Structure 1
Amino acid sequence: MFTKEKEFFSILFEAVSEGVIVVNTQQNIVATNQSAENMFGYNKKELETAPLIQLIPKNYHHNHHTYVNGFMKKNESRQMGVGRDLFGIKKNGDIFPVEVGLNPFTVRGETFVMALVVDITLRKQHQDQIQELNAKLEQKVIERTKELSEAVNKLKEVNAELDDENKKRLKAENKAKEALKKEKELNELKTKFLSLVSHEFKTPLSGILTSAMLLSKYKLEEQQQRRDKHIKTITDKVHYLNNILNDFLSIEKLERGKIQYNPSQFKISKVVNEVIYNANMMLKDGQIINYPENIDNYSIYQDEKIVELALSNLVYNAIKYSSENTVIDIKIKQNLDSTTFIVEDNGIGIPEKDQKNIFKRYYRAENALLTQGTGIGLNIVKSHLENLKGNIYFNSKENQGTTFWFSLPNKYQTKL
């Protein structure tokens, strides 16, 4: 074979750096070059006429004929083993990775296949090294990621601990500030209380002492009217002081939560009549109280004394802070759930800057400082109403009058 073309093939094959192996349709080797011989460890004579399968490891023999026959039929150049690894076997039995390009050609009507074989052992080693390095790098990334995640978690724990400590510190600081604020308020209340007691007790006591001294001078029978006048003064002053003491006792009981409420079913008109009867004795010249309309059928299940206390406080304040010849309106509204008591006057009103503090204990509006009073009545009323699940509100404009109203459930409820 290749008698005339031998020299041509020899020059061509030897010029190629890849291993060249030519096989016929019977898959026998018909020609090789020096690179192929060196690659597989055979000399030229050992390879010529040898079956191609001699250069393929045994575990690949079963599919080899099928692949070659299929290639012969298609008769086109292509890369062999695309998508899978190919291996050759040397004369000494060493197996090594190869890359094979197949090129069919025809000479004098006979078909041959020229295989260009490249030993890719070094490339595979590099690939394996790269894969190993990538695997190591990936493992390091996993480890570093894990370490970073642990560090982040630890940092989160530390931050959480710091945050918790900060919250505790802020809480402690707020408690200290609150305690300091309460202590300051308490000191202010003590100062106001002492000032109040000094003023509110001193004035009535002076009146009582003066009236008692004057009584001793009116010994004649025709001076009885003057004696009665001073006796009334003493009685009024004593009642006033007694009311102040009762208010102080009420505050103490409210703070300690020792109030015992006594609910009962009663007519609204009964309380209104009692309040207006007592209020009539306090009216200034020309003052009028308008009786609420259509309340005969109103009744409520509540603590009667508290309702009377609340309504009388609002009515007495309306009288006290209104001038002569003014009208005080009492209105009462009732629905299925609650009853609302409304007291409206045309008095001095409450300055806007004082309105936010009007329910504070011992607080008195600027325009009421010269009028007798303790500044604790509304505070007591508000506390009682809230204990009974009620509320109290007001609208006021200085020098135009004030409207107070409070609401209570028709059926007794308490949060105590």
Structure 2
Amino acid sequence: MEHNPIKSQISRYLFFSLGATLSIASLALLFAHSYFSQKLLEQEIQQRANTISRGIEFATEGLIESQQPVLLKRVVQNYATLPGVIQIEIISPTGQILTSSPNDRRAKMLWTTKRIKMESQIQKSRQKGLKLNMPIEQNGHSVFVQILPFNNSLFHEKRFFGQILIVLDIEPIHKENNLNFFWTLGLSFAGVLFVLGGTIFVLRKRVLLPLQSIQSAIAENSGTSPLNISLVYDDEIGFLAKTLQQKFNETQTLTAELEQRVKERTKELQNAQEFLQKLLDYLPVALFVKDVSPEKFGQIILWNHTCETIFAIPSDQVLGKNIHEIYSKEYAELYESQDREAVNSKKIIDIAEEQIESPKQGTIYLHTIKVPLFANNDEPEYLLCICEDITVRKQAENDLQILNQDLELRVEERTQAVRKSEARYQHLLDQASDAILIADIQGNLVEANQKAIQLFGYSKAEMVKLKISDLHTLEESNTTKESFQRIVNNRTGQLLNTTIVCKDGNTIPVDITGSMIEYNGRQYIQGIFRDISERKKAELEMQNALIKERELNELKTQFIDVASHEFRTPLTVILGNTEFIIKYYQKLSEEKRFDNLNKVLKSALRLKEMIEDVLVLSRLTSDKITLELQSLNIEGFCHEVVEDVLSNSENKNQIMVSLVDEFGLGKQINGDPKILYHILSNLLNNAVKYSKENSPIECVIELSQSEIIFKISDRGIGIPQKDLVNICESFHRASNVENIPGTGLGLNIVKRYIELHRGTLEIESEVNLGSTFTVRLPRQMQKKSDPH
């Protein structure tokens, strides 16, 4: 099959473009030649008229008055014999024709009548001395009239100008000009045709034919074989063809690889789906899923093969339908209430036994588990329902119950006496305040009282299937075996302060007393288990109370030591300055009194700050401080803290605040402004207090997707390595602080506040080089009590 769209389209566009170009060029040439020919014609005619007028003026200039009329007429008649001259007139300032060329038949036909009509124009030109050039048509003939001002000694009237009037026949000139125009137009058109023909030949050879070759190669390619384009010329189209061939073959290779990958992935996905479907269909339990979103609550979206067997409903009659469309109103409301209970509680619902009516199997019994499946917003989106058919087990239980009843009737007489003694013994067991277990010599349990069932969490039927070793942890298995053997050998024994494992996996501390008993001629071991959980709990509480009391005593001691030193100094200042003011009030100047009162105020504020630290520490210790989270601009917040610190400090330090936000997360964070203020102001105050005057301090805020980092760096005295471990303990201060005041509570409070924000504090320091305190807080801050 041939493909020629490129040839037909490009040829059409090419010939259309060339034809339009030829037409435009011809029109442009026509108009240009017409315009310039007209201009040249006008110039030639005016030049002839000007030559005649200047010749007449020159010939008559300087003649004596007696010679002028005769010579003037002779000159006019001579010039009138020139080719193309129709009429020449010399007109005086008064309008009198002094002389003129003879009026032959041609002059009369082409000029005499027209002159009468132009008399007013001739007079106006004479009065103003104007020059007139007028091409006119007379009897279909082209005539050119030129009127020039002419002053000569002939004229004694000087108010007006004399005139030279020249009339030329320009028809021959027109004809010659038109003939030249058509020759020029023909030659130009032939040249344009020659150039356009050459252009068409070159374009067809160097553009059209290569493009057709490219099109044919693409059209004939099947899509599976490499593209082969053969071109002769190494030009732009050749380069385009090579590039197209290379990219086409690369794309073809990539497409083949991609198709192979898609096939492999599709096959893997199909295998996975088939495997999952087989897995669901061969599960021995009925498994189905319901949509529990508000708009589709109860709609079934998954229904495995076992569901079809148990409920006798095909999947195509269930999927996409609500439970009210499938079951009767009674069952639908029951199932919906169970579903809503599981969804609202967000917990697994275990229905040990429920009875339903199956169309094919009649009454069946199911053990059902309902599991909420959560979406990303921690709200249930689906409900997974797992139903196990326990009808056979239920029937077996019923059959076993009937057999047991029959057996009981058959052995009732034999066991009557034994039953009385057993009832008495069982009553004693059940009334016991401790758990009692009875096991044979091999360690198999054979009896358990009610207290043992409550303690271990097993049913009695489950208990008699266990061994003594099953009730102990692996760590104590050897000790249990040794104690068991000791009781067998010594017929009595004890195992104190050990632990047992309950059914739910929890461990309980117990004391065990064991002894050998005999029943129906066989030896058994009786173990009495006493739950000592409350005793252990009381012991632990007592230990914790002792530890806390010891810590409180230490804190009290440390507080007294600090208070006796730190509180004494501001109190001394307050008392001394107050007594001094009272004693010398009248003698002191206003400035001196203000200075002493200012010292009293600063010391009082120092006392207030120390007391507030103690109160905050007390509240933190007793967990009485909770976070009050709100959104705040962290950069502006830090600038406010820095301003407060600098305004309250006597040192003239410069604190530089900078924000690093590489991820463009914004300056808004979630935090407690009061606690963050205390953290930052305490660290900045320490940086100022332990640094030299004018020493720079840096506060860098780094924002990441998971946390907010504050780095406060100074170039102060630093912290010795031996003090870094305990620097955040209450009342602990570095050994190099010398006389710098402080209680040792600030960093402890800061650390506790940071931990309240679920953050961390890192300290790097070198003596005399400075310290860097790094505070890391989670970006999404939550209260410490929040489990999430």
Indicate whether the TM-score tops 0.5.
Answer: yes
Greater RCO, 1 or 2 (C-alpha within 8 Å, sep 6+): 1
Counterpart of 2:562 in 1: which secondary structure? Answer: helix
Name the CA distance, whole Å, in 1 between partners of 2:610 and 2:572: 16
Q: Is the 8 A contact 2:573 2:600 kept in 1?
A: yes
Q: Is the 8 A contact 1:284 1:324 kept in 2?
A: no
Which of 560, 569, 578 does residue 212 from structure 1 map onto? 578
Aligned-pair Cα RMSD in Å: 3.4
1:99 corresponding residue in structure 2: none
Aligned counterparts, 1:307-326, within 5 A: 307-326=676-695
1:94 corresponding residue in structure 2: none
CA shift digits 1:355-404 (9 cap, x unpaired): 11111111112222532111111111111221121221111122221110
1:327 corresponding residue in structure 2: 696
Q: Please, which runs of 5 or more residues in structure 1 have no aligned partner?
A: 1-145
Which of 593, 597, 607 does residue 241 from structure 1 map onto? 607
2:313 corresponding residue in structure 1: none
Aligned counterparts, 1:209-358, within 5 A: 209-216=575-582, 217=584, 219=586, 223-283=589-649, 285=651, 287-293=653-659, 297-358=666-727
Counterpart of 2:731 in 1: which secondary structure? Answer: coil
Structure 1 residues 393 and 219, CA gap change in structure 2 (3 angstroms)? same
Structure 1 residues 149 and 361, CA gap change in structure 2 (3 angstroms)? same
Residue identity matched to 2:654: I
CA shift digits 1:308-346 (9 cap, x unpaired): 110011011111112234221111101122211111111
1:196 corresponding residue in structure 2: 562
Identity %: 33
Counterpart of 1:291 in 2: which secondary structure? Answer: strand
Structure 1 residues 162 and 291, CA gap change in structure 2 (3 angstroms)? closer
Q: CA offset at residue 289 of structure 1?
A: 1.6
Structure 1 residues 257 and 182, CA gap change in structure 2 (3 angstroms)? closer
Greater mean deviation of Cα atoms: 300-309 or 277-286: 277-286
1:155 corresponding residue in structure 2: 485
Structure 1 residues 148 and 301, CA gap change in structure 2 (3 angstroms)? closer
Name the CA distance, whole Å, in 1 between partners of 2:556 and 2:653: 37
Q: CA offset at residue 255 of structure 1?
A: 2.1
Q: CA offset at residue 178 of structure 1?
A: 6.3
Name the CA distance, whole Å, in 2 between partners of 1:156 and 1:270: 75
Counterpart of 1:323 in 2: which secondary structure? Answer: coil
Structure 1 residues 148 and 410, CA gap change in structure 2 (3 angstroms)? closer
Counterpart of 2:736 in 1: which secondary structure? Answer: helix
CA shift digits 1:229-286 (9 cap, x unpaired): 2222222112111111211221222122221332111111232122211222355655
Q: Is the 8 A contact 1:218 1:224 kept in 2?
A: no
Name the CA distance, whole Å, in 2 between partners of 1:209 and 1:344: 37
Structure 1 residues 332 and 230, CA gap change in structure 2 (3 angstroms)? same
1:402 corresponding residue in structure 2: 771
Q: Is the 8 A contact 2:635 2:659 kept in 1?
A: no
Aligned counterparts, 1:48-197, within 5 A: 154-155=484-485, 161=496, 163-164=498-499, 181-197=547-563
Q: CA offset at residue 172 of structure 1?
A: 9.2
Greater mean deviation of Cα atoms: 149-158 or 306-315: 149-158
Name the CA distance, whole Å, in 2 between partners of 1:395 and 1:211: 41
2:748 corresponding residue in structure 1: 379
Name the CA distance, whole Å, in 2 between partners of 1:286 and 1:260: 35
Q: Is the 8 A contact 1:275 1:311 kept in 2?
A: yes
Name the CA distance, whole Å, in 2 between partners of 1:213 and 1:344: 42
Name the CA distance, whole Å, in 1 between partners of 2:691 and 2:576: 28
TM-score (norm 2): 0.31
Q: CA offset at residue 287 of structure 1?
A: 2.8
Which of 371, 385, 392 does residue 761 from structure 2 map onto? 392
TM-score (norm 1): 0.57
Name the CA distance, whole Å, in 1 between partners of 2:653 and 2:579: 33
Q: Is the 8 A contact 1:348 1:401 kept in 2?
A: yes
Name the CA distance, whole Å, in 2 between partners of 1:298 and 1:148: 72
Tell which structure's C-alpha radius of gyration is larger: 2
Residue identity matched to 1:289: I
Structure 1 residues 286 and 247, CA gap change in structure 2 (3 angstroms)? closer
Structure 1 residues 173 and 369, CA gap change in structure 2 (3 angstroms)? farther
Structure 1 residues 345 and 148, CA gap change in structure 2 (3 angstroms)? same
Residue identity matched to 1:199: H
Aligned length: 270
CA shift digits 1:160-187 (9 cap, x unpaired): 6565569999999988776655444333
Name the CA distance, whole Å, in 1 between partners of 2:751 and 2:728: 7
Counterpart of 2:758 in 1: which secondary structure? Answer: coil
Structure 1 residues 171 and 234, CA gap change in structure 2 (3 angstroms)? same
Name the CA distance, whole Å, in 2 between partners of 1:171 and 1:262: 34
Name the CA distance, whole Å, in 2 between partners of 1:183 and 1:371: 31
Name the CA distance, whole Å, in 2 between partners of 1:156 and 1:385: 56
Counterpart of 2:711 in 1: which secondary structure? Answer: strand
Q: Is the 8 A contact 1:284 1:323 kept in 2?
A: no
Greater mean deviation of Cα atoms: 224-233 or 167-176: 167-176
